[in-house]
């Protein structure tokens, strides 16, 4: 009898151990993309495998490694693991990002697994925009509103551009306010279902995402000036010269390279600065907003600098951007995002009523240093403004055949994101559920797939962007005095020189932030990889780093989206005196694409006599 009990106990313990070994954290994410201060926060934890029973699931909220908030824990019952939702209480301070560390422990307290996610506590999205997109609006194209929004929420996307959903540029609402159309064709002849547009907006709002309606500031269809009913006044058009014939056929336009299915074969360049055109377009957008509960207007442009008005006077689009934005905001009482194509006019937009600056990068900014330069330009124009870049990593080559690859090239994507995020901006690239942009026509996002490994890496990058938002793009000092950076055995450069380590220094209050971005392995300084051939960066172990940073050092840590899900790690350091400079010396365990080092300085004590 004793022998039988002993064997049974051994079998039971072995089975319990096996169950515990099978049990693991599959995923973790917050239930919303953004939270107002004091809003309830739930971390959804997905597990796989069998629970032996008694295991504990817990989570902590961290800011630069310091635990600043806790979550309710959960004890698991034996059997198949099921998703759990942990109620969390972050600090109520506004505009703060936090890393959330989720842990799964055995009944005896031994940690079995750990995973990171992040939360953004911000009363408004515009300070830390994480912009995504939508470009398909019917079930035949695979649109699944609830599923798509749930997926984008896992990346903390807090705003969405509804690209090319509108009926016409000069008449965005199909039908009328009293009798809106149930469906219509967009500019490319694709079906748009009103019910799906409504559902996408509603689902976005469930996750605290802003829904932005796309439409251009100076475009009308090719028949708008000549249609039999209600033609637009010719006086609102523009021409390429002061003395060109003032006719509809000679008006300035953008010729579209498209198929016969498209609704128009060109777009007229209307006089954006003309009060009559402005009031007309604002009225049409007002009709749209009366039917669809969008939060604002994503205003597009096409990189044109201007033309000539009906009376022969020059039209300067760039100088007119702020007035157009401010007038639209006042007339519609909606949020405004305005595309500065090729960065044209972005400094002016930074000082307007726009939510933040949004710039589409083209030939003049296709290098890593070009990213840094354009971010610096906006920062110095308005250091409090958010910034989003549209940067199409695999835009087709201008000549020759496109590459045959079917998936995004992971090194290209992650180095571009590292460069954009470390420079102080966000990247519009994710949308339509699990798809990603590779070119400027958003509905083409079905051509290239995101591999499972890239999908997982991007989750960590967007966790990192959210968790460390205050140290990446929160009114930082972009040129902290006295900071010097050296890495043993490696070439370094603060201006993104290829085949070197790109070093960026920033200061936030009493913290110095140093970014190391690995540009080794290639002599190409372009982030745009049209041929999809950028090689992987070599992983560098045990880098000896020295940083001169004025101030008394109290702690040093590092984090990377490439390692441990972006978890913050305290790191041992030494202080070395060289002349008038005090250097912090430390060893980074690893650098693949991007590491960030955080040097915390002790506040100077004050004394009174």
SS3 408: coil
The rounded distance, in Å, linking the Cα atoms of 195 and 299 is 23
pLDDT at 579: 84
Contact 214, 173 (CB under 8 A): no
Token readout for 272 is 């954006």
Q: From CA 258, how far away is CA 186, in angstroms rounded? A: 13
What is the pTM assigned to this prediction?
Answer: 0.95
* Residue 237 per-residue DSSP state: B
> What's the pLDDT at 6?
42
Which residues, at least 6 apart from 282, have a Cβ–Cβ distance to it below 8 Å?
327, 328, 331, 332
The pLDDT value recorded for residue 262 is 94
Task: Write down the pLDDT at residue 472.
Answer: 98
What is the C-alpha to C-alpha distance for residues 543 and 219, in angstroms, rounded to an integer? 53
How far is it, in rounded angstroms, from Cα 81 to Cα 22? 10
Distance (Å, rounded) from C-alpha 446 to C-alpha 431? Answer: 11
Closest CA to 437 of 405, 392, 388: 392
CA angle 423, 429, 435 (to 5 degrees): 150
Full DSSP string of 255-310: E----TTSS-SEEEEB-TT-HHHHHHHHHHHHHHHHHS--SEEEEE--S--EEE-T
Cα–Cα dist 149/431, whole Å: 9
Bridge-based pairing of strands 210-216 and 296-300 is parallel
The C-alpha torsion from 495 through 126 and 463 to 433, rounded to 10°, is -110
pLDDT tens digits for range 562-579: 999 999 999 999 999 988
How many alpha carbons lie under 13 Å from residue 88 in its C-beta half-sphere?
Answer: 37
296: nearest Cα among 368, 353, 231, 376? 353
Cα gap 360→387, rounded to integer Å? 11
Low-confidence ranges of the chain (pLDDT < 50): 1-19, 605-609
Domains within the chain, CATH numbers bracketed: 2-121 (2.60.40.10), 131-219+283-472 (3.20.20.80), 484-601 (2.60.40.1180)
Please give the pLDDT value at position 15: 39
pLDDT at 257: 73
Helix (H) and strand (E) counts for the chain? 10, 37
**Which pLDDT score, from 0 to 100, does residue 361 have?**
98
Q: What is the pLDDT of residue 603?
A: 67
- Note whether 301 and 340 are within 8 A (CB): yes
């Amino acid at each position: 009898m004793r022998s039988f009990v002993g064997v049974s106990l051994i079998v039971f313990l072995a089975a319990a151990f096996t169950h515990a070994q099978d049990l693991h954290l599959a995923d973790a994410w917050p239930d919303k993309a953004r939270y107002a201060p004091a809003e309830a926060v739930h971390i959804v934890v997905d597990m796989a495998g069998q629970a032996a029973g008694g295991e504990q699931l817990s989570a902590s909220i961290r800011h630069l490694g310091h635990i600043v908030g806790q979550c309710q824990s959960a004890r698991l019952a034996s059997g198949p693991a099921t998703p759990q939702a942990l109620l969390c209480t972050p600090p109520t301070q506004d505009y703060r990002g936090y890393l959330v560390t989720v842990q799964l422990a055995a009944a005896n307290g031994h940690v079995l697994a750990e995973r990171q996610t992040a939360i953004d506590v911000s009363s408004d999205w515009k300070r830390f925009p994480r912009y995504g997109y939508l470009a398909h609006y019917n079930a035949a194209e695979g649109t699944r509103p609830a599923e798509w929004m749930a997926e984008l929420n896992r990346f903390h996307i807090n705003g969405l551009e509804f690209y090319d959903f509108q009926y016409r540029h000069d008449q965005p609402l199909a039908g009328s306010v009293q009798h809106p159309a149930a469906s219509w064709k967009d500019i490319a002849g694709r079906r748009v279902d009103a019910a799906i547009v409504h559902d996408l907006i509603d689902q976005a709002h469930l996750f605290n995402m802003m829904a932005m309606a796309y439409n251009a500031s100076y475009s009308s269809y090719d028949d708008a000036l000549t249609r039999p009913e209600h033609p637009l006044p010719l006086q609102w058009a523009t021409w390429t010269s002061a003395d060109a014939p003032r006719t509809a056929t000679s008006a300035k336009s953008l010729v579209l390279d498209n198929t016969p299915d498209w609704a128009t074969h060109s777009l007229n360049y209307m006089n954006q600065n003309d009060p009559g055109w402005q009031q007309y377009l604002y009225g049409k957008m007002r009709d749209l907003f009366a039917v669809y509960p969008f939060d604002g207007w994503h205003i597009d442009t096409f990189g044109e600098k201007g033309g000539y008005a009906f009376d022969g006077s020059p039209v300067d689009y760039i100088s007119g951007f702020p007035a157009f934005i401010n007038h639209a905001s006042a007339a519609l009482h909606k949020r405004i995002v305005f595309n500065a194509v090729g960065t044209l006019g972005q400094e002016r937009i930074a000082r307007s009523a726009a939510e933040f600056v949004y710039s589409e990068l083209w030939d003049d900014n296709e290098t890593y240093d070009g990213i840094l330069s354009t971010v610096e330009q906006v920062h110095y124009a308005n250091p409090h403004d958010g910034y989003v870049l549209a940067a199409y990593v695999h835009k087709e080559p201008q000549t020759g055949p496109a590459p045959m690859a079917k998936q995004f090239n992971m090194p290209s994507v992650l180095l571009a994101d590292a460069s954009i995020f470390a420079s102080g901006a966000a990247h519009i690239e994710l949308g339509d559920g699990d798809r990603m942009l590779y070119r400027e026509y958003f509905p083409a996002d079905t051509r290239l797939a995101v591999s499972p490994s890239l999908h997982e890496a991007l989750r960590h990058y967007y966790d990192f962007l959210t968790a460390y938002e205050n140290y990446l793009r929160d009114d930082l000092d972009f040129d902290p005095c006295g900071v010097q950076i050296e890495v043993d055995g490696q070439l370094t450069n603060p201006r993104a020189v290829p085949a070197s380590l790109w070093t960026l220094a920033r200061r936030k209050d009493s913290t110095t932030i140093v970014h190391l971005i690995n540009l080794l392995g290639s002599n190409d300084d372009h982030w745009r990889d049209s041929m999809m051939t950028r090689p992987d960066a070599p992983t560098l172990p045990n880098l000896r780093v020295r940083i001169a940073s004025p101030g008394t050092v109290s702690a040093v840590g590092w984090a990377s989206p490439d390692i441990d899900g972006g978890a913050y790690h305290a790191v041992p350091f030494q202080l070395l005196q060289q002349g008038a400079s005090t250097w912090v010396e430390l060893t980074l365990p690893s650098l693949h694409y991007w590491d960030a080092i955080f040097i915390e300085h002790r506040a100077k004590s004050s004394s009174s006599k």
